[in-house]
Structures are given as structure tokens and as C-alpha cells.
């Protein structure tokens, strides 16, 4: 599948809205792998995701760095993992955590996913976020070669949907 690139303005709300849009489309069993430098906007995006998934308590989403995985209940539950400390998450995943994480009952979002790239399933939607010169964010969505995530197809349409809404 062809990756889609989105140029987001210098506004955290744009990142949050993209997350919300993703949350409306993602289903339990889907994995969203987030890649981006410190402060790129990964957690901001997952906060938006929480609203799109209609989690019971979307405000509870925060950075899971020292907790490995945070569970958020809801109609489409979220497992929010963080591989910033890769050895920790890797050990957890290799000790049975992978089955827990990818059991299919929740949407899985992994920050710093490139640190555990080889452990994530083939059907992962990869998302890269980078800070641009104008302080906006360039987001690349890369659906897997194996298919799925068909909603990721038309960049301009996605951008219009998330930015034109008031």
C-alpha cells in the first residue's frame, strides 16, 4: 500500500484530531505503531485516539513510559504501550506480553515502536511524526503490504476531514 503523508499545522489540536479520526476507524486487533522524536506529538495523537475510540475515560490517557502498558476500557478498548525503554518492553513482550498485547480484544498503540519493530505483527499501521521547519508536524501513515487499513488512502481528504471540522 502507498504511504500517505499529511502536513499538519502548528497546532496540537490538529495532531489530536488526526488521532481522533484514526480512533473512529481502527478496530480491536489493529496495531498502531508510532515513531517520532522526543516531543514530536505521539502522546498527543494517542489522546485524540482515545476520543475517537470513545474510551470510558479519554482524559486518562498519558505517557506510559515507566508503566510499559496502560489499559483503557471502552467499547473499543485501548492498550497504550511505550518502548522508550526498549529493553523493558522487549523483555515484557518476550515473556508473554506479546500475546496479551496482540490478543485482538483491543486497539494497540505503541509509542517508540521502531524500538521493538521486529516484535510487532505484519498487519501494523506505521505512523511517523516529525516536526517541520514551520513547527507543524509531518505525519506519514504507512499501511502494511499485507493490506488492511483501507481508510488510509486519500491524504487531502483525510486532512480536510480533520481540519475543516469546527
Ligand X SMILES: Nc1ncnc2c1ncn2[C@@H]1O[C@H](COP(=O)(O)OP(=O)(O)OP(=O)(O)O)[C@@H](O)[C@H]1O
What residues make contact with Mg ion under the rule CB under 5 A?
42-43, 63
What is the grid cell recorded at 56?
A: 470510558
C-beta of 63 vs 123, nearer to Mg ion? 63
Q: Give the H/E segment covering residue 129.
A: strand 124-131
| Segment 106 to 135, residues that bind ligand X, using CB under 6 A | 135
Contact 112, 82 (CB under 8 A): yes
C-beta of 70 vs 163, nearer to Mg ion? 70
Orientation of helix 42-52 relative to helix 12-25, angle to 10°: 50
C-beta of 62 vs 105, nearer to Mg ion? 62
User: Backbone phi, then psi, for 46, in 5-degree steps?
Assistant: -70, -30
In the set 6, 15, 23, 143, which binds ligand X (CB under 6 A)? 15
Contact 107, 81 (CB under 8 A): no
Closest residue to Mg ion, judged by C-beta, is 43
Residue 128 interacts with which of ligand X, Mg ion, none, CB < 5 to 8 Å by class = none
In the set 24, 25, 29, 63, which binds ligand X (CB under 6 A)? 63
Contact 120, 101 (CB under 8 A): no
In the set 83, 137, 142, 149, which binds ligand X (CB under 6 A)? 137
**Number of residues lying near ligand X (CB under 6 A):** 18
Contact 16, 48 (CB under 8 A): yes
CA–CA separation, 52 and 22 (whole Å): 7
Residue 38 interacts with which of ligand X, Mg ion, none, CB < 5 to 8 Å by class = ligand X
| Segment 21 to 60, residues that bind ligand X, using CB under 6 A | 36, 38-44
Amino acid at each position: 500500500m502507498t504511504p500517505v503523508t499529511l502536513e499538519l499545522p502548528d497546532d496540537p489540536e490538529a495532531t489530536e484530531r488526526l488521532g481522533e479520526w484514526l480512533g473512529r476507524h481502527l478496530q480491536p486487533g489493529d496495531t498502531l505503531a508510532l515513531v517520532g522524536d522526543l516531543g514530536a506529538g505521539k502522546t498527543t495523537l494517542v489522546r485524540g485516539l482515545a476520543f475517537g475510540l470513545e474510551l470510558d475515560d479519554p482524559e486518562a490517557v498519558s505517557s506510559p513510559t515507566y508503566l510499559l502498558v496502560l489499559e483503557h476500557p471502552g467499547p473499543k478498548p485501548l492498550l497504550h504501550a511505550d518502548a522508550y525503554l526498549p529493553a523493558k518492553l522487549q523483555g515484557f513482550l518476550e515473556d508473554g506480553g506479546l500475546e496479551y498485547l496482540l490478543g485482538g480484544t483491543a486497539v494497540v498503540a505503541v509509542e517508540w515502536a521502531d524500538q521493538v519493530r521486529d516484535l510487532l505483527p505484519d498487519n501494523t499501521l506505521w505512523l511517523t511524526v516529525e516536526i517541520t521547519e514551520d513547527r507543524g508536524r509531518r505525519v506519514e501513515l504507512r499501511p502494511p503490504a499485507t493490506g488492511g487499513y483501507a481508510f488510509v488512502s486519500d491524504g487531502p481528504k483525510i486532512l480536510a476531514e480533520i481540519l475543516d471540522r469546527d
